Amino acid sequence: MRKGMALLISCMLLFVLAACGGEEPQGNSGITDTGVAPEAELVIKGTDFEFDQAEYHLKKGVPVQITYENEKGNHGIMIPALGLQLDRKNNTTVVTPDKAGEFEVSCSIMCGAGHSQMISKIIIEE
């Protein structure tokens, strides 16, 4: 039992440390490191155990600059379908959604008792 708990705590610590790393945001030239200029912008705000919206809408094939703003507590966002993870230090990037559907947005930093309920969704429309 103790070994299992120690392993779980170690994994959580590694996850939190990995979430704290990252590069500084790019300048405001509008062109990303991939050379793509965003055509849309999405701002996702996080507070204690919730995001500012239950769902966010994007268009398939349209480059969008996604920015994460941490308003209260220590949170981040993870969107596995877009290969995206943002937090306070690495808070913006440009992505081009390539498939339509509904995808989960979750908190990427262990933030306390309500962490597992800190979920929203992104709907990518054709």
pLDDT in tens, 14-32: 655 555 544 443 444 444 5
What's the token pair of residue 58? 């994007």
Determine the straight-line distance between the first and last CA of the chain, rounded to whole angstroms.
49
Q: Which H/E stretch holds residue 90? A: none
Taking the C-alpha atoms of residue 66 and residue 91, their distance in angstroms, rounded to an integer, is 8
Closest to 89 in 3D by CA, of 106, 77, 80, 105: 77
Q: Residue 28 has what pLDDT?
A: 42
Q: Residue 34 has what pLDDT?
A: 57
Low-confidence ranges of the chain (pLDDT < 50): 21-31
Q: Residue 23 has what pLDDT?
A: 43
Task: Write down the number of H helices and E strands in the chain.
Answer: 1, 9
Taking the C-alpha atoms of residue 66 and residue 68, their distance in angstroms, rounded to an integer, is 7
Query: Can you tell me which residue has the tokens 């094939």?
Result: 61
Q: Which residues pair with 122 in a beta bridge?
A: 56, 103
